[in-house]
């Protein structure tokens, strides 16, 4: 019967790779059909099935290494979370509820853990009665230790960074894995010690090897006991006692073998002192082992050592009393036994450089656009959109609003049109009225208001349904907590993130509702004026009063220059120049939009990604320079708008000055002022119509997009409810 400990496999469960990958590709790679990767998906499923087979055989080492290598490459192509729920049971509790995470990194760590477990089981299966068997056992245990070290250094940090701290499996935390690494090294060093015994090494050397065995077992014990995370309860009953027994056993072995070395060197007093230390250690170890119910083979070994030490101690004390009469030194004055370690954590080349594990095998998803590159493209497109919206579209709208606001404050162009055309309607107003009439403006606005209201109600309904789901889970949990207090994390803590998100969503909807109310208020204030713009030309003309003065009749003589006419013409010329600037601004916006429509950074990202070594995880930050360079081509639109802005500011100042002169030169005529007021109201109504329709279009877009977010949130909460109900069962 073996006196070593082996680590069992973490039990894995069937993983719906096919459906998960197809769904991910369909959602995130819309330009690619999942069937293109049929071979890749089939290969993944086959590799996982072979790698999770619990058979203990040396051939499975390469199988697991190959699967791990493919996972490393897959993670350069896919994000950790592609929607696959991956489950592994705790290592020493295969019958308990498995830990389930949506993380391919979790799959990788589970595979690596089981590789280390396989090494440990292969080691225990070796025939240690032969030197070849001992050699193989030592190699397997060092490989197991190296795999645990690789897990600690290169795999679990990524998992820790990708999941919530409370979701991190305890059997994948650093203290737990480090204790297993020390256990594997201790058992490997024990194999070296046993081989030294076979080869009849000198007792002094054997003592140094044994001292290192004891030290490594002590490392494992201390890592368990001093862990900031409570991991002691994870281990099976008897494991910690086994480690402590082994520690005491080999502390005793070291002193016992060194006592024989002292005897051979005629150091009889030191021999007795070391035998006393050996006796104390092995008796303590035997007591720990007996109470801790360790393996029978371990108890037999330490009992045999207890007997041997006692026999030698009795003989040594008798010989010294009768013959040698040497002083027995205090234990503290004895020279320390120098530890000699002959083992180390060996990380195989197939782990250090995963691609070597594949040989000539084809990598899975080798032709798929890497996740990092895909995210870089999305980042660029998002940055481009935000930049165009902020620096071009919004800026152009701000300049339009500024010009419109100033003209309205100056009563332009209504004041000019009232005098240039004392009867009838100005062409510019007729054009605006025709636009509103052709769009059936009031009907369009009212329809949009109704649609916005319906979408807002649907969004709030989705959120309320989701809150009902969370309330149902909380009610169920309240019943469970009353029946079995502390059986699981209470809802108030477990669903804190979901409740917080729901609160944010309600706040967003409340703010949107306030914005909707403002838009409806604008419509209530301006509905009558906007409706007038839909009247026929005859009715609209009849509603606008005529004036009794025109520029044509202003002045006393045709030969006498008319100041009002001169100022009006100059003012009209300035307004026409402002129209030219506004048209040029529209052209800049149109050019920017066309540039966006034809812009595609994908080829350049692919070129850069191809130049990166295939097995390197491609991160979006690697494309930062490319993104910055590509964004530079839009700077010219910003520069053009800035030039237009400067010209507009200068022109508006000239318009203000010329308008002041025009006002002073114009005769006071009530009919002119009435006509100006009517024309200004209609012109302002047109601008309010454009503003209201723009607001409503933005509202429709917002509620449609937010509805998708709420639907996904509701689905997430349903999954949460189902998960918690399964826990209850």
**Tell me: the pLDDT tens digits for 219-270?**
999 999 999 988 999 999 899 999 999 999 999 999 999 999 999 999 999 9
Proportion of the chain above pLDDT 70, given as a percent: 92
Residue 645's CB: how many other CB atoms inside 10 A?
Answer: 17
Q: In the block, which residue shows the tokens 């969503």?
A: 505
Q: Which two tokens stand for residue 434?
A: 């025709």
- What does the pLDDT read at residue 413? 79
What local confidence, expressed as pLDDT, does residue 275 receive? 96
Domains, the chain, with CATH or none: 1-200+345-368 (1.25.40.280), 237-337 (1.20.58), 410-555+570-728 (1.20.140.50)
Tokens read off for 127? 């025939």
Average pLDDT over residues 699-722: 89
Q: What are the angstrom distances between the C-alpha of 219 and each of 68, 237, 247, 250? A: 29, 19, 9, 13
Count helices and strands (H / E) in the chain: 25, 2
- pLDDT at residue 554 tops 50: no
Tens of pLDDT, residue by residue over 647-691, are: 998 988 888 888 877 777 665 545 566 767 777 788 888 888 888
Residue 101 has what DSSP assignment? E
pLDDT digits 0-9 by tens, 617-648? 667 777 788 888 889 889 999 999 999 889 99
- What is the overall mean pLDDT for the chain? 88
| pTM for the full predicted model | 0.65
How far is residue 41's CA from residue 20's CA, in Å, rounded to a whole number? Answer: 10
Region of poorest pLDDT, from 39-48, 71-80, 209-218, 654-663: 654-663
Residue 705 has pLDDT above 80, yes or no: yes
What pLDDT band is residue 565 in, cutting at 50, 70 and 90? low
Angle between helices 394-409 and 635-665 (to 10 degrees): 0
Contact 533, 437 (CB under 8 A): yes
Per the DSSP assignment, residues forming a β-bridge with 101 are 86
d(CA 58, CA 277): 42
Reply yes or no on whether the pLDDT at 552 is more than 60: no
**Residue 175 confidence (pLDDT) above 90:** yes
Alpha helices, DSSP H only, in 52-130?
59-77, 104-125
DSSP string of 592-639?
HHHHHHH---HHHHHHHHHHS-TTS---GGGGHHHHHHHHGGGHHHHH
Residue with tokens 């003012």: 571
Q: Looking at residue 615, what is its pLDDT?
A: 64
- pLDDT over threshold 80, residue 551: no
Query: What tens digit of pLDDT does each residue of 94-113 get?
Result: 778 899 999 999 999 999 99
550-555-556-562 Cα dihedral, nearest 10 degrees: -150
pLDDT digits (tens, 9 = 90+) for 411-431: 787 777 666 655 567 777 788
Which residue, 548, 537, 576, 569, is CA-closest to 424?
537
Assigned token pair, 494: 């477990």
**CB 2 within 8 Å of CB 297:** yes
Give the integer Cα–Cα distance in Å for 454 and 462.
Answer: 12
């Amino acid at each position: 019967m073996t006196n070593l400990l082996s680590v069992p496999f973490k039990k894995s469960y069937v993983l719906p790779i096919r459906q998960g990958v197809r769904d991910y590709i369909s959602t995130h790679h819309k330009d690619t059909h999942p069937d293109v990767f049929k071979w890749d998906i089939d290969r993944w499923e086959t590799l996982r099935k072979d790698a999770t087979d619990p058979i203990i055989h040396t051939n499975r080492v390469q199988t697991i290494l190959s699967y791990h290598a493919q996972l490393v490459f897959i993670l350069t192509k896919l994000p950790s979370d592609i929607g696959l729920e991956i489950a592994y049971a705790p290592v020493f509790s295969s019958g308990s509820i498995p830990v389930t995470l949506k993380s391919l990194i979790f799959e990788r760590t589970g595979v690596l853990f089981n590789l280390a477990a396989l090494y440990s089981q292969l080691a225990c299966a070796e025939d240690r009665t032969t030197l070849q068997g001992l050699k193989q056992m030592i190699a397997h245990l060092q490989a197991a230790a190296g795999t645990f070290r690789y897990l600690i250094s290169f795999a679990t940090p990524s998992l820790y960074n990708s999941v919530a701290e409370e979701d991190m499996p305890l059997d994948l935390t650093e203290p737990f894995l480090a204790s297993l690494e020390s256990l594997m090294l201790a058992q490997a060093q024990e194999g070296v010690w046993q081989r030294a015994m076979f080869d009849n090494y000198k007792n002094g050397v054997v003592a140094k090897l044994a001292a290192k065995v004891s030290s490594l077992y002590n490392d494992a014990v201390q890592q368990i006991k001093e862990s900031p995370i409570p991991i002691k309860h994870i281990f099976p009953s008897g494991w910690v006692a086994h480690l402590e027994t082994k520690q005491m056993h080999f502390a005793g072995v070291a002193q016992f073998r060194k006592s024989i070395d002292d005897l051979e060197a005629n150091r009889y007093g030191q021999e007795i002192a070391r035998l006393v230390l050996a006796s104390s250690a092995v008796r303590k170890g035997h007591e720990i082992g007996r109470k801790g119910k360790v393996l029978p083979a371990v108890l037999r070994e330490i009992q045999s050592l207890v007997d041997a030490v006692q026999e030698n101690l009795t003989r040594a004390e008798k010989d010294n009393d009768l013959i040698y009469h040497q002083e027995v030194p205090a234990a503290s004055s004895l020279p320390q036994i120098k530890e000699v370690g002959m083992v180390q954590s060996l990380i195989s080349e197939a782990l250090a450089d995963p691609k070597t594990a594949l040989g000539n095998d084809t990598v899975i998803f080798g032709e798929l656009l890497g996740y990092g590159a895909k995210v870089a493209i999305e980042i660029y497109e998002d940055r481009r959109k935000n930049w165009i919206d902020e620096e071009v579209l919004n800026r152009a709208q701000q300049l339009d609003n500024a010009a419109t606001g100033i003209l309205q404050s100056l009563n332009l162009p209504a004041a000019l049109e009232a005098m240039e055309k004392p009867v009838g309607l100005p062409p510019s107003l007729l054009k605006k009225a025709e636009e509103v009439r052709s769009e059936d403006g009031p009907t369009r606005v009212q329809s949009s208001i109704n649609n916005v209201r319906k979408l807002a109600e649907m969004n709030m309904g989705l959120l309320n349904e989701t809150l009902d789901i969370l309330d149902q889970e909380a009610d169920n949990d309240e019943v469970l907590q009353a029946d079995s207090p502390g059986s699981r994390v209470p809802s108030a803590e477990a669903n804190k993130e979901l409740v917080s998100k729901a609160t944010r969503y309600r706040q967003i909807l409340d703010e949107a509702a306030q914005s909707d109310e403002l838009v409806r208020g604008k419509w209530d204030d301006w509905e009558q004026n906007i409706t007038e713009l839909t009247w026929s030309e005859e009715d609209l003309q009849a509603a606008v009063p005529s004036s009794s003065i025109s520029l044509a009749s202003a002045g006393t003589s045709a030969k006498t220059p008319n100041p009002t006419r001169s100022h009006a013409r100059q003012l009209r010329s300035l307004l026409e120049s402002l129209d030219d600037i506004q048209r040029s601004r529209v052209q800049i916006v149109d050019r920017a939009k066309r540039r966006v429509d034809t812009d595609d950074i994908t080829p350049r990202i692919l070129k850069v990604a191809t130049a990166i070594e295939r097995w390197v995880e491609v991160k979006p930050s690697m494309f930062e320079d490319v993104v910055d360079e590509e964004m530079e081509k839009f700077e010219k639109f910003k520069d053009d708008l800035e030039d237009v802005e400067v010209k507009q500011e200068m022109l508006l100042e000239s318009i203000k000055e010329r308008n002041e002169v025009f006002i002073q030169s114009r005769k006071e005529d009530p009919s002119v002022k009435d006509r100006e007021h009517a024309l200004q109201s209609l012109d302002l109504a047109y601008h309010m119509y454009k503003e209201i329709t723009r607001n409503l279009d933005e509202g429709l877009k917002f509620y449609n997009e937010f509805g998708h977010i709420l639907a996904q949130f509701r689905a997430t909460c349903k999954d949460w409810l189902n998960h918690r109900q399964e826990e209850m069962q």
